Chain A
Amino acid sequence: MKKTPVLSVRGLTRSFGDHHVLAGLDIDVRAGSAAVLVGPNGSGKSTALKCVTGAEVPDAGTIEVVGETFDERSPTIRSAMAVVMDDLDFFPDLTVVEHLDLFARAHRVEDSDRLVDEVLKEVGLMAQAGQLPVSLSSGQRRRLALASAFVRPRRLLVLDEPEQRLDSDGLAWLTDRLIAEKKAGLAILFASHAPSLADAVGDQVIDLGASS
């Protein structure tokens, strides 16, 4: 039996004035699979992700997450959807580990201390656990943003160019991690400019540059 998509997008359309950025985009992402949006700058990758996460309102089209019509105010959808975009700001007075601890506890994760320690170690921020985000490098801040998505329950992972500012080791880790996430049954939608990441993780590659 074919599994119901965790994310289903139909006819997504978004225009800015006369410029049609997205014209009837369809995406289905099932549990245990990944869809990757590729294309040059301005082809609509981030706009599509913003529409899917509720940061932007599409002109037309429907979005369903875990079988529910998308409404980013819905706690059910928020619980199911872990998002890492470029708009994540951190609390200026909370340390790295306190951020992760807060997110895990807000989602009522059992044994959150163990999970937070594991993720911290995995993203290579154990030594920076007591630092405030403002003192981290841009790459470390990116790792913290990604870690924030991994310490909470999720069924759908939405990432906007997750490879940004990561070094080669970081990119290798991210590739392995996303493959592991898929194996664990997660649905992943991400935009990327890194062909190696897109090829290794993406089950379906949606080239927005080809359609524009």
Chain B
Amino acid sequence: MLEDAYVALLAVVMLGSMAVNVLINVSHLTDDACRTATCTSDRVLLAWLVSGAVLAACWAMGRAVGPVHVSPGAASWLLAAPVDRGELLRTRLWGMLALAVAVTAPVAAAAGVLAGFGWPSVGALSVGAAATAALGTAALAHRQVSGRHPAALLVPVTLLLVWAGLVVIATDVTPGLAAPETPRGSTWLLVGLSWVAVLAVAVSATALTRRLRRIDVAPGGALVPGLGGALAALDLALMYDVLVAHRSRRRAVRTPVRGGPTGLGALVWRDVVRLRRNLGTVALLAGSAALPYAVDALGGGRVVVVTVVLTGFIVGLPLLVSLRVLARSAGMQRMFPTTVAATRCAALVVPALLLIAHALACAWALRDITDLPVDAVQIAFACGVGALAAGVRWVCGRPPDYGRPLVSSPAGGVPTNLYGSVLRGFDVALLASAPMLISPTANAAVISVLLSLAVLGYLTGRR
């Protein structure tokens, strides 16, 4: 036990020091390359945006699992016992607060270092972000008790602020920010007050934990083992399935929409109905177009191509729900009187239109890397098709097969496709981007489209 702790501690210290070393070197390199006022300002703003993004991710995860949650085992026997459940739930709440701090503080610190902050300012940013994360998590615990609570707005408001920051960068509006060497006294005062607020909100949330019902804490606890199992198999698509099923359980009744065309048109129409139901997905896709423009404004050059493909691929995944079910369920596939390829292609119509529209909306960000505006449009189109192919690869990928020969590893026998499954989708995104990264011309766009279509043809036709 002591030996294991020693090895773990040593590994953390060694990897941590290596990471810090890399961050400092990258920061120095960026110092040399980024000398204009606009660049410096954008760099500082990026540190805030990264901190905001990690806060949103932290709170989104907190909301999904509770944040206060118990394992299915504890939910079935401990919560039914005539004991003070507050005792059990208090430790879970403080555990989640500690986790929020542990995740947010290093990411914010890394963002501060990369933005060229002085060490005291890095400390202030890190401690401040950690306090905000803990404060939000404690507020979410309040929401668990009371139902309707302003904490429900934490994630959307934070995402909106991050998006606004991206727009500021993309539009070259220089807010005139400078990397602070030492924070002002008022900053430290604010950070200190934040921690006092954390303490107050956390203590009041702790007092409320005994009022939590089983239904408030059990679903999140049931989600954690599901996510853990999928993560152990490095099956990100399965993790996504678990999250989608969890969200469906939370809002299990919908107003049915009937009617529409017949034949394969019925599948296409269902995707249109899905869009009307999940306008947030469309808004997120539209809003994410700011990211390639921000990368372009930061002088990303050809990296904008990869950004367009990756943004479309990742933000567009919720559009592929229909294809995901058709790909994983032979039973569902059999329900349709058409070939596998035809059914899957029907499930691709709406996502394809949206992803191509998203990429075309980013065409203006590609103008700097091409000689002719029409080339930028063609490259944008190829990026949209590439994003679609990457998404299809992600949802249609086969899970790790433990029935095949295993490779020996320190963690035991692992299937040959286990580690590769993490890169699923990203490989196709890179394949589609490569021709345009090498030569951002119309001909490269045609090659990219052909490569993406070959991938799509293979994946949609595969049984």
Residues of B within 8 A of A91 (CB): 270, 321-322, 325, 332
Distance in angstroms between the alpha carbons of A92 and B255 in the assembled complex: 15
The answer to the question of B361 belonging to the interface, with a C-beta cut-off of 8 Å to chain A, is no
The answer to the question of B248 belonging to the interface, with a C-beta cut-off of 8 Å to chain A, is yes
A105-B261, A134-B245 given; A53·B334 CB < 8 A: yes
Residues of B within 8 A of A148 (CB): 335
Kindly provide the distance from the CB of B199 to the nearest chain A CB, expressed in whole angstroms: 39
The residue on A at minimum CB distance from B322 is A91
Q: Are B331 and A89 in contact (CB under 8 A)?
A: yes
Q: Are B330 and A87 in contact (CB under 8 A)?
A: yes
Q: Are A88 and B332 in contact (CB under 8 A)?
A: yes
Kindly provide the distance from the CB of A75 to the nearest chain B CB, expressed in whole angstroms: 6
Q: Are A89 and B328 in contact (CB under 8 A)?
A: yes
The residue on A at minimum CB distance from B264 is A106
Residues of A within 8 A of B383 (CB): none
Residues of B within 8 A of A66 (CB): none
Interface residues on chain A, size class = 35 or more
Residues of B within 8 A of A59 (CB): none
Kindly provide the distance from the CB of B103 to the nearest chain A CB, expressed in whole angstroms: 28
The residue on A at minimum CB distance from B325 is A91
Q: Are B253 and A87 in contact (CB under 8 A)?
A: no
Most buried by A among B265, B267, B330: B330
Kindly provide the distance from the CB of A141 to the nearest chain B CB, expressed in whole angstroms: 12
Q: Are A78 and B321 in contact (CB under 8 A)?
A: no
Partner among A87, A98, A106 whose Cβ is within 8 Å of the Cβ of B337? A106
Q: Are A135 and B270 in contact (CB under 8 A)?
A: no
The answer to the question of B266 belonging to the interface, with a C-beta cut-off of 8 Å to chain A, is yes
The answer to the question of A101 belonging to the interface, with a C-beta cut-off of 8 Å to chain B, is yes
Q: Are A106 and B258 in contact (CB under 8 A)?
A: no
Residues of A within 8 A of B252 (CB): 131-132, 134-135
Residues of B within 8 A of A109 (CB): 262
Kindly provide the distance from the CB of A115 to the nearest chain B CB, expressed in whole angstroms: 12
Q: CB within 8 Å of B: which residues of A?
A: 53, 55, 72-73, 75, 78-79, 81, 83-95, 97-98, 101-103, 105-109, 112-113, 116, 129-132, 134-135, 148, 152
Apart from A98-B258, A135-B253, what 14 extra A-B contacts exist at CB < 8 Å? A83-B331, A85-B331, A89-B328, A91-B322, A92-B325, A93-B254, A93-B277, A94-B270, A102-B267, A105-B265, A106-B335, A113-B258, A113-B259, A131-B253
Supply 30 A–B pairs (Cβ within 8 Å), ascending by A: A53-B334, A73-B463, A78-B336, A83-B331, A87-B329, A87-B330, A88-B335, A89-B328, A89-B329, A91-B270, A91-B325, A92-B241, A92-B248, A93-B248, A93-B254, A93-B321, A95-B253, A98-B273, A101-B256, A101-B258, A103-B335, A105-B262, A105-B266, A106-B262, A106-B337, A112-B262, A131-B252, A132-B252, A132-B253, A148-B335
